Amino acid sequence: MASLLSIEGVSKDFQVRGRRILALDSVTLAVEKGEFVTVVGPSGCGKSTLLNLIVGLLRPSAGCIRFRDRTINGINPEIGYVTQKDNLLPWRSLLANVEVALEIRGVEPKERKRRAGDLIHQVGLGGFEDHYPHELSGGMRQRANIIRTLIYDPQLILMDEPFGPLDAQTRIVLQDQLLRLWTAARKTIVFITHDLVEAIALADRVVLMSSRPGKVKCIATVPIPRPRDVYQVHQHHAFGATYERLWKELRPEVDLVETWKGGAPA
């Protein structure tokens, strides 16, 4: 049986000021239905480019990406995309923002209000339905951003550092809520992060990418049973071993990027 998502020898280059920049080089990865996969790597390694290729915003320079055994040739409405910036519509209330995807799909008002209300309460935002984005904290807006994607039931959800701008306490609260939502719905998630601790705490598998051009350097299965308590997961004996293994692979890539930033020849 084919994987839900298959990335097969994918490379992507860009022309920048007349110069070819290779962002991704021969990336191959299979993601199974219901799997939670995190992707971690140094800045500029092509993580966001990879998500843009999966969702169909970009096309590969080489290789192909297949979703449900069909080649992706454009925007796929079965794939949800949660970005770092919440992009909530400022003129719409929280409830109206969460409903918007169902409204576009022609779902009748009573049903979309019910479904939006259920999700709002699941992430602890009950009572804020009539508030506008500027009246919500960053963490609250990002919760709304996530459930606005979940509400239309995509088969695959891509998440591009959704907790990156948040403070440490808010991040761990949202990690916990995300795992609860994922456990309930078992949607397939590909989650980009710079944070190795976050990557291990959330994932079934961690994909570690090299510095640019981004390649899959290694893939580690996280041998920590589910359900997980993100507040305590770091105390599990397998957490430290997995972290050490991945950091040993990641550190040279981070050091290389910092060397380039310092002006040394690439």
Where in the chain are the domains? 1-78+154-235, 88-153
Do strands 216-221 and 188-193 pair parallel, antiparallel, or not at all (unpaired)?
unpaired
- Asked if 255 and 43 count as a contact pair (C-beta separation under 8 A), the reply is no
- Asked if 152 and 102 count as a contact pair (C-beta separation under 8 A), the reply is yes
Fill in the DSSP letter of residue 201.
Answer: H
CA distance 185 to 156: 11
Going along the chain, which residue ranges are E strands? 5-16, 19-31, 36-40, 62-67, 70-71, 79-82, 156-160, 188-193, 205-209, 216-221
1-78+154-235 has which fold?
Rossmann fold (3.40.50)
CA distance 94 to 145: 10
Q: Which of 164, 154, 181, 163 is nearest to 55 (CA)?
A: 154
**Model confidence at 261, in pLDDT bands (50, 70, 90)?**
low
pLDDT at 262: 57
Residue 174 has pLDDT above 70, yes or no: yes
Residue 33 has pLDDT above 50, yes or no: yes
User: Where do we find the tokens 């299979």?
Assistant: 30
- Asked if 213 and 257 count as a contact pair (C-beta separation under 8 A), the reply is no
Average pLDDT of every residue of the chain: 92
- pLDDT digits over 216-246, tens only? 999 999 999 999 999 999 999 999 999 999 9
What phi and psi values does residue 58 have, to the nearest 5 degrees?
A: -125, 160
* 114 alpha carbon, distance to own chain's centre: 26
Q: Which of 228, 226, 222, 225 is nearest to 241 (CA)?
A: 222
pLDDT at 266: 36
If residue 47 lies in a helix (H) or strand (E), which one and from where to where?
A: helix 47-55
Show the tokens assigned to 262. Answer: 């310092």
- pLDDT digits over 86-135, tens only? 889 999 999 999 999 999 999 999 999 999 999 999 999 999 999 999 99
pLDDT at 254: 85
pLDDT at 18: 81
CA distance 81 to 150: 10
CA distance 29 to 4: 11
